[in-house]
């Protein structure tokens, strides 16, 4: 699949940004403390954020509605299945 050439953004998105209050939690509410688990969770979050950002930018460049794309991304997350059972 070919990718569209995007203009260089005015904001530097090269470094992943995490929400300042983001704390990964276990089902019982206690924070995840294992450094390796936190590393994987943060890397996955950063990758997903960048992929979603790229998809949004592509949609906008192709003339799609920003609101519709945001709704589609929300729907995508809402439809993810937990293969390990209910939480």
pTM of the model: 0.71
Residue linked to tokens 């991304």? 73
pLDDT tens digits along 12-71: 555 545 555 589 999 999 999 999 999 999 999 999 999 999 999 999 999 999 999 999
- Give CB contacts under 8 A, 24+ apart, made by 47-55: 49/16, 49/17, 50/13, 50/16, 53/13
């Amino acid at each position: 699949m070919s990718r569209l050439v995007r203009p260089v953004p005015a904001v530097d998105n090269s470094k992943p940004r995490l929400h300042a209050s983001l704390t990964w939690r276990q089902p019982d509410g206690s924070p995840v403390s294992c450094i390796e688990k936190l590393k994987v969770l943060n890397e996955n979050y950063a990758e997903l954020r960048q992929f979603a950002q790229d998809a949004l930018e592509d949609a906008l460049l192709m003339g799609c509605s920003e609101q519709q794309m945001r709704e589609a991304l929300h729907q995508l997350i809402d439809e993810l299945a937990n293969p390990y059972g209910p939480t």
